[in-house]
Amino acid sequence: MANAAAYAYLDHSALVPDGGLTLQTSGGPSAHPRFFDGFLTQPGAAAVGLLAVAEVARTRYFRPVSPASLDPVVTAGSDRLRFESFSGCCGVYARLDVLPAGVDGSIIAHGTTNVDVNVPLQRALSRVGRADPMHLAVGPDDLTVTTFDGSLVERKVPLPSRWLRGFAEAQVITSRFDPRAEVGAAEARALLHRLPVAERGVLWAVPAGRSLRLTSRPVPGAVCLPGAGRLVALRPFLRFATTLRVYGPPVATGSGPVASTWELSSPAMRLSLTLSPEPYRGFSGEGAVLESLAADDAADDADLISALLSWDPTVDVDALAVASGLPASRVRDALTQLGTAGRVGYDVAEAGYFHRTLPYDAAAAASMNPRLVHARALVTSGAVTIDGETAAVRSGAETYRVRVVSDDTFTCTCAWWAKHRGDRGPCKHALAVRMVRTGEAADLDEPAETRA
């Protein structure tokens, strides 16, 4: 192999008793390794952006949870840094991309770890001006930030397992987005400052000239704005941004709520917030990854693509297709599978995947999704009987009828389908029928505890 690299790890990544994860990443050969060491060229913007990511991490927009371990995840790629977090309710995904123009330092090695942004660091970051120097040193165990106030060393804390499910769901959901609108700095400032902060309902933003018009009903070309108050973390970054871009899936008149991404950008960095379809819905429960987790046909391809992943800023699907000998469609399926394992994320601005390393695999992801666990149990117990385009599924004292609408679409007589109608992924009965129809139940004969 022409380009080979060896990485050393200080310790194993591992589950901890409270259900979170401790992450380890490569950091070079030294006793105190770093995967980034240098200055940021726009320290004021970087400080505000990092504070916004940390603000989302400690905010509970809907359902309160303990904030003890809600800390941003940082990834060093070949030429940039990414800081990511989820809100306490897991309904807002925040990311700060520090682009090559924003980095003045050495990315010594590639890796991912979680970092702490506590009150002393928040205070120090809030005092960083546009021209003040800010130095970052990021390693597998700590984040060191040096400003005029001195150096602050923040230690790593366990990463909530719910975030891992959120990363997987957000990757699948945002990969279906397209750019929907773009407005300049002045229009962005006016829009974000007139949004109702307390609004928890669903609005729709419609391109109108150089700005966006808010309406209560979806129309073709509109972008969903579910819970406008959840965009408040973007406001401090407005003074550094040149453009507001909005991304989302296609909608039609009468469409239900969908997720969307709102991104403020400058030449050196991008700050984005991705909102779940409704304020009470966390990304970790959206179910967008269930069919990929249930499928076995992409597993071998995912192993091959995983071995070929580099730390390029954006994963090149066509290049991977050439290197692997697989068609582009199978490469995309493999990347979806890897996304469920936290190995890749999706950047809507560049319409491409990026490499992320988390101590997580598809088997672990499956065990953390109750619908998939229950579907496998139904298959293993022989509860599924298929008769042409319909199927009967025995679950407890009830028998549910599942009808095949298309290869990827099912209806069911259960209460879950009646409530969500496929908007939050398949129910466990439809998932079990899909597994049986595609022959993906062959490996389910072993006891469930050995698969977890």
Question: What band does 222 get if pLDDT is binned at 50, 70 and 90?
Answer: very high
**Which phi and psi angles does 383 have, rounded to 5°?**
-80, -5
b vs e for 364-389, b when ≥16 Cβ sit within 10 Å of the residue's Cβ? bbbbbbebbebbbebbeeebbeeeee
Two structure tokens written together for 149: 């106030």
pLDDT tens per residue across span 22-44: 444 444 444 457 788 999 999 99
Question: What band does 414 get if pLDDT is binned at 50, 70 and 90?
Answer: very high
Mutual angle of helices 161-174 and 328-340, in 10-degree steps:
160
- Domains, the chain, in order of start with CATH, read 14-162 (3.10.150.10), 177-282 (3.10.150), 290-363 (1.10.10.10), 369-451 (no CATH)
As a whole number of angstroms, the distance between CA 34 and CA 36 comes to 5
Separation in Å, CA 256 to CA 376, 398, 415, 437: 30, 30, 19, 29
pLDDT value at residue 407: 63
The answer to whether 346 touches 395, Cβ cutoff 8 Å, is no
pLDDT value at residue 295: 60
Two structure tokens written together for 217: 């009903």
pTM of the model: 0.80
The gap from C-alpha 156 to its chain's centroid, in whole angstroms, comes to 20
Of 276, 325, 59, 300, the residue nearest 170 (C-alpha): 276
Would the pLDDT of 324 be above 60?
yes
pLDDT value at residue 28: 42
State the SS3 of the chain: CCCCCCCCCCCCCEECCCCCEECCCCCCCCCCCCCEEEEECCHHHHHHHHHHHHHHHCCCCCCCCCCCCCCCEEEECCCCEEEEEECCCCCEEEEEEECHHHEEEECCCCEEEECCCCHHHHHHHHCCCCCCCCEEEECCCEEEEEECCEEEEEECCCECHHHHHHHHHHHHHHCCCEEEEEEEHHHHHHHHHHCCCCCCCEEEEEEECCEEEEECCCCCCCEEEECHHHHHHHHHHHHHCCEEEEEECCCCCCCCCCCEEEEEECCCEEEEEEECCCCCCCHHHCCCCHHHHHCCCCHHHHHHHHHHCCCCCCECHHHHHHHHCCCHHHHHHHHHHHHHCCCEEEECCCCEEEECCCCCCHHHHHHCCHHHHHHHHHHHCCCEEEECCEEEEEECCEEEEEEEEECCEEEECCHHHHHHCCECECCHHHHHHHHHHCCCCCCCCCCHHHHC
Share of the chain above pLDDT 70, in %: 82
Average pLDDT over residues 85-107: 91
Two structure tokens written together for 269: 């960095």
Question: What band does 292 get if pLDDT is binned at 50, 70 and 90?
Answer: low
Separation in Å, CA 32 to CA 5, 27, 146: 20, 8, 17
Considering 137-151, 180-194, 290-304, the range whose residues carry the highest mean pLDDT is 180-194
As a whole number of angstroms, the distance between CA 31 and CA 159 comes to 24
Pairwise pLDDT comparison (357 vs 411), residue with the higher score:
411
Match 């809600």 to its residue by tokens.
Answer: 70
Would the pLDDT of 122 be above 60?
yes
Two structure tokens written together for 249: 């899936």
Two structure tokens written together for 248: 């989302």
The type of residue at 266 is S
Separation in Å, CA 40 to CA 2, 268, 445: 33, 9, 54
Considering 226-230, 233-237, 325-329, 382-386, the range whose residues carry the highest mean pLDDT is 233-237
Residues 6+ apart with CB under 8 A from 216: 203, 204
pLDDT value at residue 451: 34
Pairwise pLDDT comparison (9 vs 62), residue with the higher score:
62
Average pLDDT over residues 353-371: 70
pLDDT value at residue 81: 92
**Which phi and psi angles does 413 have, rounded to 5°?**
-90, 5
pLDDT value at residue 55: 92
Residues 6+ apart with CB under 8 A from 392: 384, 385, 399, 400, 401, 402
